[in-house]
Amino acid sequence: MATALPPVDSPASQRHRKMRRVKDLLAKYMIGVGGLGVIAAVALIFFYLVYVVFPLFLSGSLEVEARYPSPAAADSETMLLAMEEQAEIAVRFDDRGRATFFSTADGRIIDGVAAALPPGAVITSFSAADPASRIVAYGLDDGSAVVLRHNYKVSYPNNIRTITPFIDYPLGQEPIVVDEQARPLSQLAIQNAEDQAMISAVTADGELLLTDIQKEVSFLSDAVEIEVETTSITSAAAKFRFMLLDKMMDVLYLATPRGEVTAYDVNDPGAAEALETVNLLQRPAELTSFEFLTGDISILAGDSQGNVSQWFPVKNADGMPRLTHIRDFKLATAAITSLATEHARKGFLAVDRAGRLGIFHSTADQTILTEQLSDVAAQQVTIGPRANAAIVENAEDQLIFVRLHNEHPEVSWSSLWGKVWYESYDEPAYVWQSSSASSDFEPKLSLVPISFGTIKAAFYAMLFAIPLAIFGAIYTAYFMTPKMRSMVKPTIEIMEALPTVILGFLAGLWLAPLMEEYLPAMLALLLLLPLAVVGASYAWHKLPPRIHNRVSDGWLAALLIPLILLVSWLCFAINHPLEAWLFGGDTQLWLDRELGVSFDQRNSLVVGIAMGFAVIPTIFSITEDAIFGVPRHLTNGSLALGATPWQTLTRVVILTASPGIFSAVMIGFGRAVGETMIVLMATGNTPVMDFSIFQGMRTLSANIAVEMPESEVDSTHYRVLFLAALVLFMFTFFFNTIAEVVRQRLRKKYSSL
């Protein structure tokens, strides 16, 4: 017996309607809050990425902290200014052989030390070695040289940091005899290593001498025993004004005021020879400054017109390294008077006769800032070891102490997205190399190779996944019997729950070696399998009706399973004969010799197959739902009007389902772009720009996963990795937005069907 419904205006009905309205409102607001929460989460991710990346693009700045007279400068000329690591104490070496230590904050003299010069000796030249070594040398009028080092002892009495400066003599206090003929040394260059030192000098009458110093430390004491051997290189060195010896003691450069530089190979001092002579000045000017960039590979040449040019050796067509002009920097129009290079980066400072200071970065090819510090000419400039402070001396013997704020000078648009000519490279290139691989290391942070790798990995994955997923979805939704569909669809969809780390593990440790060994079989499989399926379908169609009518069209796919297994087994069975017949027994060698294509075991083919399996379930499921959801009255109407099933599929079903199919492809593409574990384990992670299917790659996501744990927080490397994440975020956001726009247009266009 049916239960009578309460009257519409009864209290029970009113309570029911009220509760229903409450539930509707609650559901409405919960769905709204959930949607807004998703949007807010995405927006917060975006703004956090921007927050971390933003400091990369802040311009450098400086602030003048103090101005004071140069200490002990009344009767002497400054030869060198230098600072210790904390930039609290500086030292001034003068032409009288004195080292004056002073406070950088106010110029207060802390200590003064005179070099251990022989009685009556006159200083005729001065040189400083690599700034990190803190070694300087005085050349004397008797043909000898005194080598000393400014050093600093840090202690913490009463938990207060105290820095005590002192002078020591790494080669002993006795002067080193450079010229046996006791001629004055008019020019000097020195470098010092653990077991060797080298001094090059030009005598007053123009002879170029090279002194090789072999060091041996006593086991019983800290005493250093040295063996000195001097070689005469040339007697025509009088015209040279500047001399540089690299810290590896391999190459010596001598430069004239007109910019002509002669390079000497001094790796073997007894067989030193001139390598080349190059003019560094591209315009009528005078060479006024000549320094090594950090690493002693590049040369910086400042001229009388305010230009600084960078040069370093590049191999020519004969494989011989030759000094090559790389890039130019412009401070102003006044002559460059002094250059100072950063100790750990490829940046440098320049000052000119108009009192300007410029901060530059060579690899990024950018001028960080220029500042007018003085009304008179600047004569000397030095930079602290941490590149956070500098001291400039002007023509009035006044020191200007400035604090530098220049955290990320190596980042610029050209260094991130353009070809950069790095030291020791033969030409400009796109390079990602954030960790050291050689002694001339500098960070190479181009995002182009890893962005290219991301697109390459997604391209090959989609090339493998789209045909299989879409054609499979079409057959499953439109032709397959309901019973078979109920087994196939859940099976493929459950593949999406398979962790991608498992796919990456299988791809890297099983599929990649298998493909390397059976590459001809894999290539044959890609060719023969489609032909076998088409041939089998044609043969089935030609069979008598009494045979092919026994099997429903919706079950025909099951008949292909034995064929696919048979063709696969056949391809692997004929692998070695096929390789011997077509590729001379070694496919990899044949590819390299005949096509110039190198083969990496973990390559794009492996990634395409492995990532394709990860993407197929996504594309298949959405496409199958879109096709299966096409209203039946459309297909029935088309068939009733005389269209064949294929005509109905191509002209009605696919067009109606096209918004869903397009969404499936773009969602699959987004997943392929953001995939991490498969490309991390199956690509070799080599950031190369090669579209070859047999080469690997490195993607943005894999690069972040590999390098983020090792990066220093707030360093340039750390922030560039976040920039890569921002690029990946914007990349996927852009394509998803385009996909949604296209999907809406397709839906609007075919909604009338």
> Does residue 440 have a pLDDT over 60?
no
> Does residue 439 have a pLDDT over 70?
no
Q: What is the pLDDT of residue 221?
A: 61
Q: What is the pLDDT of residue 380?
A: 93
**Res. 450 pLDDT band, cuts 50 70 90:** very high
What integer is the mean pLDDT of 562-570?
Answer: 89
User: Pseudo-torsion of CA 356, 361, 367, 373, nearest 10°?
Assistant: -20
Measured distance CA(414)–CA(660) in Å, rounded: 40
User: Which residue type sits at 343?
Assistant: H
What integer is the mean pLDDT of 150-163?
Answer: 91
Measured distance CA(82)–CA(132) in Å, rounded: 10
**Res. 504 pLDDT band, cuts 50 70 90:** confident
- Return the minimum-mean-pLDDT range out of 67-76, 400-409, 739-748: 739-748
**641-693 confidence digits (pLDDT tens):** 888 888 888 888 888 888 888 888 888 888 888 888 888 888 878 888 888 88
What integer is the mean pLDDT of 423-436?
Answer: 85
Q: Would you give the DSSP letter of residue 374? A: -
**341-366 confidence digits (pLDDT tens):** 999 889 999 999 999 999 999 999 99
| DSSP letter string, 396-436 | TSEEEEEEEE-S-TT--HHHHHS-B--TT-SS-B--EE-S-
Residues in the chain: 753
Tokens 């991608």 locate to: 500
Measured distance CA(721)–CA(715) in Å, rounded: 10
- Residue 382, sorted as left (phi over 0), alpha (psi -120 to 50) or beta, turns out to be beta
Q: What is the pLDDT of residue 750?
A: 66
**Res. 731 pLDDT band, cuts 50 70 90:** confident
**511-537 confidence digits (pLDDT tens):** 888 888 888 888 888 888 888 888 888
> Does residue 316 have a pLDDT over 90?
no
What integer is the mean pLDDT of 61-67?
Answer: 93
Q: How many CB atoms lie within 10 A of CB 282?
A: 13
Q: CB within 8 A of 256, min separation 6: which ones?
A: 239, 240, 241, 287
Closest CA to 529 of 464, 608, 587: 464
Both tokens assigned to 711: 């990066």
Q: CB within 8 A of 413, min separation 6: which ones?
A: none
Q: Are 412 and 366 in contact (CB under 8 A)?
A: yes
More confident residue, 478 or 469: 469
Measured distance CA(77)–CA(94) in Å, rounded: 5
- The chain-wide mean pLDDT, for the chain, equals 87
In the chain the domains, ranked by start, together with CATH numbers, are: 78-279 (2.130.10.10), 448-750 (1.10.3720.10)
Mapped to the 3 state alphabet, what secondary structure does 141-173 carry? CCCEEEEEEEEEEEECHHHCCEEEEEEECCCCC
- From edge to edge, which strands make up the β-sheet containing 78-83? 78-83, 89-94, 98-103, 109-114
Measured distance CA(13)–CA(173) in Å, rounded: 108
Measured distance CA(466)–CA(482) in Å, rounded: 24
More confident residue, 697 or 750: 697
What integer is the mean pLDDT of 294-303?
Answer: 93
Measured distance CA(636)–CA(282) in Å, rounded: 80
Q: Are 703 and 724 in contact (CB under 8 A)?
A: yes
Q: What is the pLDDT of residue 436?
A: 57
Residue 34: strand, helix, or coil: helix
H or E segment at 215? strand 208-217
Residue 639: strand, helix, or coil: helix
**101-137 confidence digits (pLDDT tens):** 999 999 999 999 999 898 889 999 999 999 989 999 9
Q: What is the pLDDT of residue 219?
A: 61
- Return the minimum-mean-pLDDT range out of 190-194, 204-208, 221-225, 460-464: 221-225
Measured distance CA(284)–CA(305) in Å, rounded: 9
More confident residue, 673 or 735: 673
For a pLDDT cut of 70, what percent of the chain falls above it? Answer: 96
> Does residue 483 have a pLDDT over 80?
yes
What integer is the mean pLDDT of 398-415?
Answer: 92
Q: What pTM was estimated for this model as a whole?
A: 0.86
Both tokens assigned to 690: 């090669």
Tokens 């040449």 locate to: 301
**Res. 228 pLDDT band, cuts 50 70 90:** confident
Both tokens assigned to 213: 């110093």
Both tokens assigned to 145: 């040289």
Residue 98: strand, helix, or coil: strand
- From edge to edge, which strands make up the β-sheet containing 260-265? 242-245, 251-255, 260-265, 273-279
**176-189 confidence digits (pLDDT tens):** 999 999 999 999 99
H or E segment at 452? helix 448-474
Q: What is the pLDDT of residue 752?
A: 59
Q: What is the pLDDT of residue 721?
A: 94
Using only the alpha carbons of the chain, give its radius of gyration: 37
